[in-house]
Amino acid sequence: MYSNIHMPKGFKCAGISVGIKSDGVKDMALILSAEPAAVAGVFTTNQVCAAPVKICREHLKHGVARAIVMNSGIANACTGSAGMVAARDMAVETAKGIGCEPQEVFVCSTGRIGPQLPLDKIVQGIETLIDAADAERVQETAEAMMTTDTRPKVSSVEVQIGGETVRIVGFAKGAGMIEPKMATMLSFITTDVAVEQKAFQAALKKAVDLSFNRITIDGDQSTNDTVLALANGATGNQALNEISDDWGLFVEALEKVCHELAMMIVHDGEGADKFVTVNVVGARSDAEADLAARSVANSLLNKTAWAGEYPNWGRVMDSVGYSQAKVDENRVSIHYDDVQAVVNGMRTDVAQEELIKVVSQSDFAININLYLGEGKATVYTCNCTEEYVRINVE
């Protein structure tokens, strides 16, 4: 699937099975940079957060990375001091293997909350991964990140910076599932361009806000959510920052990779078969537009209605109304794609069949105008099917 994609210059990767998951399913991955890379990171804001997230936050202060080492199957969350030791050991062992400082290694875990990591298996795995790492092993790496994802997720973009072709390759796993034991969003982004760390961090934060933070499947936020980005400068350009000529091009490419990965996550929402874009315009502010869009996107009443291909604009009105965004019901308009269902807070005389046609598609938009200001926001979500509940009940 991603066999034609190779890593940016100076990066290697690998994905293997070390026996955390059963049946030889891949459960460990490594991304290596030959040279120290500028690193940026964005993490879960959950107050209950996994040991590896704490380690990453600590290491990010140094701003330099040589490796990301990760496992799937066990989240290393709610594991106390033993969990912290295990996460730190993962960094230390990887650092030993490649010859760098432990704080240059970033650690991630995803999977079941509670159990301790099997450190012996992990230490062995790190050795194997270092030996196996290769610029071509993109597919295996993406596979090793998966938990209940149905497919690996990789995005690759090329862009001309200072006359050189630079590449950005990103990996992700979904927060899309509703599997009660595992639900985390992880993404690793690599590029061979040189970027100043501070500017890189700001650019990543913004790219995440525009992509991973725009998707919602179950409204829950994991203890392990992490996005890490490494820029190793292997193309030899002068390090980019906000005032560089090519800064806009780089940011655009970074945002494109994040957006593509985020869309892959929603499309892979467990049991979901409809991709729904909720656009809100005309709010008093972008923040209020965001609140209204999320309220619509997270409503279980809306999500089940979409599954039933029922154009329940009344439920959309309802969920806009109880959002924290200011709403004047007599101004609200709602379009399903370009078919107007609501004008001035009341239904139009459009035929119900026209609306059913829209929500029967596998991909449609709900476009809401609050007519109160200039604020706008978009949130991407999916429907909620019986299948989705069945997966989680079982």
Q: Which residues are catalytic?
A: 184
In this structure, are residues 28 and 144 in contact, taking their beta carbons and an 8 Å threshold?
Answer: yes
Cβ closest to a copy of itself, residue 63 vs residue 271: 271
Tell me which of 55, 320, 339, 382 binds a copy of itself, using CB under 8 A.
Answer: 320
Distance CA 25, CA 370 (A): 48
For the CB of residue 45, give the shortest distance to a copy of itself in the complex, in Å.
7
Query: Interacting stretch for a copy of itself, rule CB under 8 A, among 86-94, 117-125, 150-158, 327-335?
Result: 327-335
Cβ closest to a copy of itself, residue 136 vs residue 273: 273
Terminal CA-CA length for the chain: 30
β-partners of residue 69 are 30, 107
Query: Interacting stretch for a copy of itself, rule CB under 8 A, among 156-164, 214-222, 259-267, 274-282?
Result: 214-222
Query: Does 56 participate in binding a copy of itself (rule CB under 8 A)?
Result: no
Q: What is the DSSP letter of 170?
A: E
Q: Report helix, strand or coil for 183.
A: coil
Cβ closest to a copy of itself, residue 34 vs residue 300: 300
Query: Interacting stretch for a copy of itself, rule CB under 8 A, among 100-108, 161-169, 257-265, 311-319?
Result: 311-319
Query: Does 312 participate in binding a copy of itself (rule CB under 8 A)?
Result: yes
Query: Does 393 participate in binding a copy of itself (rule CB under 8 A)?
Result: yes
Query: Does 80 participate in binding a copy of itself (rule CB under 8 A)?
Result: yes
Query: Does 65 participate in binding a copy of itself (rule CB under 8 A)?
Result: no
β-partners of residue 74 are 110, 112
Q: Binding string, 336-355, against a copy of itself, x = CB under 8 A?
A: ------x-xxxx--------
Alpha helices in 99-181 (DSSP H): 119-132, 138-145
Distance CA 368, CA 265 (A): 24
- By DSSP bridging, strand 363-369 and strand 275-283 are parallel
Distance CA 8, CA 37 (A): 12
Radius of gyration of the chain (CA): 22
In this structure, are residues 155 and 182 in contact, taking their beta carbons and an 8 Å threshold?
Answer: no
- Where do contacts with a copy of itself occur on this chain (CB under 8 A)? 45-49, 75, 77-80, 112-114, 178, 180-181, 183, 218-223, 299-302, 304-305, 307-308, 310, 312-315, 317-322, 326-330, 332, 342, 344-347, 384-386, 388-390, 392-394
